[in-house]
Structure 1
């Protein structure tokens, strides 16, 4: 609802009328708030459901190798050097030397 404010000159004649909004449309403001809240909730549910699937299986192209698969340290080292990411379990202490307990 708008209310007019009148300005008068010295002879008491109206020289300007200005309309002020005296009643705020609370339904309009709360509608925007509700819409924003719903969008935030939908986004958070969507992002959580996509990132936290516990049934997701990670497929690796790396064959599983252990130190017991090799007879010498040099064989294990050669395999380790071919792909350090795939065969990182051959270097238990992370010093770059694979299967240190095997004979050379």
Structure 2
């Protein structure tokens, strides 16, 4: 039974991460229409622009998150998100004494 619990917890963590990642991007302000005014993303963009002398550098965290918010996650990124979600699910269940 313990193996089935591990599989269920890991799969649930992976699935939730894949579903929640795009929603989290939108809520924080990384949208298809651009960075939402007065959002967490806007604050990140302002900080990044100030740090780099006025612009947001290509490949920076803000640029990558905005790209994902606008176009969605690539297949490879979705796989990484699922892997991290599964690991977090397993670690959480282990810490809670479920497995």
TM-score by length of 2: 0.27
Q: Which has the larger radius of gyration?
A: 1
Relative to its length, the structure with more strand (as a share) is 1
TM-score by length of 1: 0.26
> Larger RCO: Structure 1 or Structure 2 (Cα < 8 Å, ≥ 6 residues apart)?
2
Relative to its length, the structure with more helix (as a share) is 2
